[in-house]
Structure 1
Amino acid sequence: MEAQFIFQTMMRHRKNLVKILENTPEPALADIPEGFRNNIWWNISHILVVQQLLCYKLSGLPLNIPEDLVGMYSKGTFPGVLPDPAERAEVGRLLVDTVGKLEQDYNDGVFENYTAYKTSAGFVLSSIDEALQFNLYHEGLHLGTVLSLLKIVR
């Protein structure tokens, strides 16, 4: 799969998520309907964190997001208190900015090393290219969850 297509698709997903963040009332962002384990806010923030972990951390590079987000939205975490509007705006900005940074870093060849990682879905990632492909799959799953949650909580 061509990396340029991955970045374009990721950016489109992320811009859709930013619109959802901007246009969804706070109670709806926080609501966890019966049958779900998390909310819209958690899913969106989780997407941001996982991309950074899969691409940067496993490449031995510093993350481009605040460390506290990792602790709150990594795999195995659960929704907490909704952030204030400034934090929501920061996550919205980071959703877009981190895609541009990832693309630039990829094109600049900064991902020289990669620590193999087996995902909870059973995929073994052994390169940045595999991480990019899996990340797109992961983001699509969570975007689908966000869209399902939107139908229920609105």
Structure 2
Amino acid sequence: MKNQLEITLQNRKNLHAILEQTPNEDLLKIPQGFRNNIWWNIAHVVVTQQILVYKLSGLQMRVPEALVDKFKKGTVPDGTATDAEMKMVADFLLSTITWTKEDYEAGLFKNFNEYTTSAKVTLRNVQDAADFNLFHEGIHLGSIFAIRKML
């Protein structure tokens, strides 16, 4: 799983740069033909990783439940984001992956609740969750690139 986490960390660094370098107005715009914005996609990958890896393992997620509720699958952006919320997500982009690596090395991921994703992929253990998370984050990075082209 070490390699998956290294790849995820690099992707998160890329997302962090997008978050830091894109004007807030553009982060929050939803182009015609899209259901979400850059901001939502970035926050969504943070909370989804926590759900897939921690929650399905029966562990406490490292992000606030309110953040999960706002950006989990099935949610839509409300067109707003406070500076504090953006800073929190920016910090979580990198720290959640560092914590996952530390927790994995400490042997915390002992159990897993099998789950079939909306992409019809069945996750049976934390390794499957980390693998699927890479795929999921790639989809959302692609969405971000498409949105940026429309701005």
TM normalised by structure 2 equals 0.97
2:147 aligned residue (127, 149, 154): 149
CA distance in 2, matches of 1:126, 1:79: 30
Q: Work out the number of aligned pairs and report it.
A: 151
Letter of the 1:133 counterpart: D
CA distance in 2, matches of 1:59, 1:4: 17
Following superposition, the deviation at residue 111 of structure 1 comes to: 0.5
Unaligned runs of 5+ in 2: none
CA distance in 1, matches of 2:79, 2:144: 18
Tell me how large the CA RMSD over aligned residues is: 0.8
Q: 1:12 corresponds to which residue?
A: 10
1:111 aligned residue (109, 112, 126): 109
Q: 2:58 corresponds to which residue?
A: 60
Q: Say whether the 8 Å CA contact 2:29–2:79 is kept in structure 1.
A: no
Q: 1:123 corresponds to which residue?
A: 121
Q: Say whether the 8 Å CA contact 1:41–1:82 is kept in structure 2.
A: no
Instruction: Map 1:43-58 onto structure 2 (within 5 A).
Output: 43-58=41-56
Q: Say whether the 8 Å CA contact 1:11–1:99 is kept in structure 2.
A: yes
CA distance in 2, matches of 1:61, 1:4: 19
